[in-house]
Structure 1
Amino acid sequence: MLLSKEAQLTQNSYYEASVDRPAASAALGGRISADVCVVGAGFAGLSAALELRAKGYSVAVIEAKTVGWGASGRNGGQAIVGYASDDAIESQFGADDARRAWNITVEAMQLIRSRIAEHAIECDFVPGFMNLAVNEKKGRELAQATIDMQKRYGYQMQPIAAADISNWIASERFHSGSFDPNSGHLHPLKYCLGLAAAARAAGIHLYENSPVVEIIRGKKPLVKTAQGEVSCDFVVLAGNVYLGAYGKAVAPELDKRIMPVGTYIIATEPMGQQRADALIRQRSAVCDTNFVLDYFRPTADHRMLFGGRVSYSAATPFNLISSMRKRMLDVFPQLSDLEVPYAWGGFVDITMNRGPDFGRIGDNMYYLQGFSGHGLALTGMAGKLVAESIAGQAERFDLLAKIKHHPFPGGKLMRTPALVLGMLYYQIKDLL
């Protein structure tokens, strides 16, 4: 069901239209051996593979489609410090552990920068991120959160007062905000393809168009596809909502811990550099503070990339381009003359508390999921932490694995309707 809904979202992606993909790697055939088998060639899986290879492990990466086909190649491109919701961290951890968890996300941005430099990845990285409030009440909440962040974590963001907001963004929609110079944005598919190229150069075996159909667990797990299998010592599951999409669920105990949520993006025609520069100071990425939020940024070729509409039922909106264009014009009515040639979407995995869900199944199978739409930066660190753990330094992985998660209520048949009803509550709150 998920894949049938996905097919209609992949046909008109600006990201795909603006890259030259290399020829796909051969599908897995026959039986091979590796120290570690990584399932999923997105940010988390490729990061884990690179870190493990650097530690001397032999690694095979198994990808059901092609590199970056899922959320890693279709997201909004915003790389942001922090978690989708800090509540999961702050409500369950003491002050010291919460700060250590926060610092992992700060390191995540450093990791992106270092990988871009080390592997010469051309992915249009631009520093700067603005978080903006749409009214006075939300502005007060954001200002207080900015102060609290400095006190708890020593992380400095620049407040943007209501009187100064017009100097930061050419929109009357926003009341006030904050600016983070450390976060930023990039072309996610270019970055993902760059990580894959670095993995191949490092001697990592990458197999595309090879959906995993079964994992036989044990001291030496066996990861099976339709035409091949990998015998290994460790498995890293980095497929998120797609792990059970190709037949029998390979890890059914994980299924109830996350939900697929559809998210959608449009990209305008190019508007020219001067016009694009005038919209957003420093060409930063932008996100509002609503629960059902809008996020947007200029691209390297001077388009406006705008995302925000979500589907908690996994059903693609019927009037996707027109509805997304209307949301964009609510922010930037001055873009009404621009055509919208690209509209696409995909599914992100969310947890009940919006905290990341990392852990182990048995002693030798790891999973990385639950990035909740905030994973461009954190996925890289997820791969680094799981590699540390496999190599015997599990402290940081275990810190995030301590986050407690509740399954979505209602089982497979009722959890989507229950979530839809729950989201209606938050949509109403956004209007207040």
Structure 2
Amino acid sequence: MDAWQSPIAPGISWYQATVGERPAYPVLDGSKTVDVAIIGGGYTGLQAAYNLAKAGVSVALIEAGRFGDGASGRNGGQLGTGQRWWPEELEQQIGYERSKTLFDMAEDAKRHLMQFSESHGIDMDYMPGQMNVSHKPGHDKEYQANAEIAAARYGYPHVSFMDKRETAERLGTGDYYCGVRDTGTGHIHPLKLLVGLARVANEAGAQIFEMTRASGIEKTRNGPGGKILVKTQKGTLTADRVLIATNAYIGDLEPVTSAHVMPIGSFIAATAPLDDFPSVIPGGEAACDSRFVVRYFRKSRDNRLLFGGREVYSSKNPADTANAIRQQIVATYPALKNVEITHAWGGNVGITMPRQPFVREVMPGVTSIGGFSGHGVMLSNYCGKLYADMVTGKATDLDHLAALKIPAFPGGRRMRTPLLFLALTWFALRDRL
């Protein structure tokens, strides 16, 4: 049997295989009344629960699956810098002052995540460095300008330009033409962070429940004294405020969020340790490329290549994730054609039309946060904290994201998926030509 035909654990992520037995948390059993109810147990929801509980606010959180089964425990693990767009791109849309504010917010998010993990003893396998590389020629000036603008206009001196030679040396492949290297950020084991975050929220006094799916949200009455009901098959949460932190897994729960946040499938494979291939990302950084249907890859602490990129613009996984990702690995690293793939998995990522976060009060007392569009490891954690700050009156920095203009996807729920699929298939074709 060739190495590439070795059996893999279908859908079991390398993260899950290496994190050990995840702690189990109870299912909601009966109705509860709290100050804040949270729907969704990913980074945003658990950070909000932790910070609210720490501030003395009674809070209950429900998660439809196990903590870590969603995007927060299965993502690419790259922290990035700034927002989803480069700062100079965002500046063209919203002006320098607002772009700088959002850039600085993202840096605050980065510091918060690093300090949070350190202060709570969460070893999230942090490894430094990230590269953003161009898959087409002719973009040297654009990438060089990005490094210069980051330093001169945004006070961020950690980005340097890489020509084709340096890009090839640092990636271990000649498949890319230039890039930028960011030494002020890095990448992590996302499930280790999520497991630690659930532990910390629980220890702070937040009531957190797994395997408890929300089935509806209702107001008892409008005006003062009205409560919000979050219904489940296991009981009802009655609260003054509700945070929807389901991101790509909103389903039919709340129509405004589902009209603005679209689930897309993204898939990752892990190779066996590459001890015989020291030229592949010798510095251990993460990388992502310039394709619209982006490819992202990095080294793990135990020297595996984690490679993602086969985005699928629907909620269904492909029949053969491993072979689909293998084709992309071999296109980038031909020498790895017979390297064993030990794990392959997928999940949904929440995107918005402009690839910017969706933060909105979708009904009185109900705030929805999501749509991080593949840039959420830092921002989703920080948004959970900012929501808690807003509730407790500490700060209103979340307003900077709420002010972004996020249009709904066209066509409604019935037509938005096929329309988006057609549009993004066109962009994928452009990537290849």
If the length of structure 1 is used for normalisation, what is the TM-score?
A: 0.92
| Equivalent residue, structure 2, for 1:81 | 81
What is the CA–CA distance in structure 2 between the aligned matches of 1:10 and 1:23, rounded to whole Å?
A: 22
What is the CA–CA distance in structure 2 between the aligned matches of 1:250 and 1:313, rounded to whole Å?
A: 18
How much does 1:421 deviate?
Answer: 1.4
Whether the 8 Å CA contact 1:109–1:182 is kept in 2: the answer is: no
Whether the 8 Å CA contact 2:248–2:351 is kept in 1: the answer is: no
What is the CA–CA distance in structure 1 between the aligned matches of 2:43 and 2:332, rounded to whole Å?
A: 30
| Equivalent residue, structure 1, for 2:127 | 126
How much does 1:123 deviate?
Answer: 1.7
1:350-389 CA distances to partner (integer Å, 9 max, x unpaired)? 1000010012134421111110111011101111111121
How much does 1:269 deviate?
Answer: 1.4
How much does 1:231 deviate?
Answer: 1.7
**Any gaps of 5 or more consecutive residues in structure 1?**
1-8
What is the CA–CA distance in structure 2 between the aligned matches of 1:125 and 1:215, rounded to whole Å?
A: 38
Whether the 8 Å CA contact 1:270–1:302 is kept in 2: the answer is: yes
Query: The residue matched to 1:311 in structure 2 has which SS?
Result: coil
| Equivalent residue, structure 2, for 1:227 | 234
| Equivalent residue, structure 2, for 1:39 | 39
1:53-109 CA distances to partner (integer Å, 9 max, x unpaired)? 232212211111110111011111111112223588435533222211111111111
What letter is aligned with 1:119? H
| Equivalent residue, structure 2, for 1:334 | 335
Q: Greater shift after overlay, 306-315 or 259-268?
A: 306-315
How much does 1:430 deviate?
Answer: 2.0
What is the CA–CA distance in structure 2 between the aligned matches of 1:256 and 1:54, rounded to whole Å?
A: 33
| Equivalent residue, structure 1, for 2:249 | 242
- Any runs of at least 4 consecutive aligned residues in structure 1 with deviations exceeding 6 A, and if so which? none
How much does 1:164 deviate?
Answer: 2.3
Is residue 262 of structure 1 aligned with residue 269 of structure 2? no
What is the CA–CA distance in structure 2 between the aligned matches of 1:253 and 1:47, rounded to whole Å?
A: 23
| Equivalent residue, structure 2, for 1:197 | 199
Q: Greater shift after overlay, 29-38 or 309-318?
A: 309-318
| Equivalent residue, structure 2, for 1:211 | 213
Is residue 93 of structure 1 aligned with residue 100 of structure 2? no
Whether the 8 Å CA contact 2:168–2:175 is kept in 1: the answer is: no
Counterparts of 1:27-426 in structure 2, within 5 Å, are 27-86=27-86, 89-156=90-157, 157-218=159-220, 219-244=226-251, 249-272=252-275, 275=276, 278-426=279-427
Query: The residue matched to 1:166 in structure 2 has which SS?
Result: helix
Q: Greater shift after overlay, 286-295 or 160-169?
A: 160-169
Q: 1:15 to 1:179 in 2, by over 3 A?
A: same
Report how many residues are paired. Answer: 418
What letter is aligned with 1:126? M
Query: The residue matched to 1:216 in structure 2 has which SS?
Result: strand
Query: The residue matched to 1:396 in structure 2 has which SS?
Result: coil
Q: 1:331 to 1:14 in 2, by over 3 A?
A: same
1:143-194 CA distances to partner (integer Å, 9 max, x unpaired)? 2233333343222211112232233121111111111112211111111001
What is the CA–CA distance in structure 2 between the aligned matches of 1:390 and 1:94, rounded to whole Å?
A: 29
What letter is aligned with 1:168? R
Query: The residue matched to 1:310 in structure 2 has which SS?
Result: coil
Whether the 8 Å CA contact 1:262–1:314 is kept in 2: the answer is: yes
Whether the 8 Å CA contact 1:127–1:284 is kept in 2: the answer is: yes
What is the CA–CA distance in structure 2 between the aligned matches of 1:351 and 1:60, rounded to whole Å?
A: 28
What letter is aligned with 2:75? N
Whether the 8 Å CA contact 1:276–1:303 is kept in 2: the answer is: no
What letter is aligned with 1:253? V
| Equivalent residue, structure 1, for 2:5 | none
What is the CA–CA distance in structure 1 between the aligned matches of 2:293 and 2:139, rounded to whole Å?
A: 14
How much does 1:391 deviate?
Answer: 1.7
Q: Percent identity?
A: 35
Q: 1:281 to 1:106 in 2, by over 3 A?
A: farther
Whether the 8 Å CA contact 1:138–1:289 is kept in 2: the answer is: no
Q: 1:73 to 1:21 in 2, by over 3 A?
A: same
Query: The residue matched to 1:279 in structure 2 has which SS?
Result: coil
Query: The residue matched to 1:266 in structure 2 has which SS?
Result: strand
Query: The residue matched to 2:31 in structure 1 has which SS?
Result: strand
What is the CA–CA distance in structure 2 between the aligned matches of 1:206 and 1:382, rounded to whole Å?
A: 18
Whether the 8 Å CA contact 1:271–1:303 is kept in 2: the answer is: yes
What letter is aligned with 2:283? Q
Q: Greater shift after overlay, 205-214 or 166-175?
A: 166-175
What letter is aligned with 1:64? A
What is the CA–CA distance in structure 1 between the aligned matches of 2:130 and 2:342, rounded to whole Å?
A: 26
What is the CA–CA distance in structure 2 between the aligned matches of 1:410 and 1:181, rounded to whole Å?
A: 42
**Any gaps of 5 or more consecutive residues in structure 2?**
1-8, 221-225
Whether the 8 Å CA contact 1:10–1:345 is kept in 2: the answer is: no
How much does 1:431 deviate?
Answer: 3.2
Q: 1:116 to 1:430 in 2, by over 3 A?
A: same
Whether the 8 Å CA contact 1:89–1:101 is kept in 2: the answer is: no
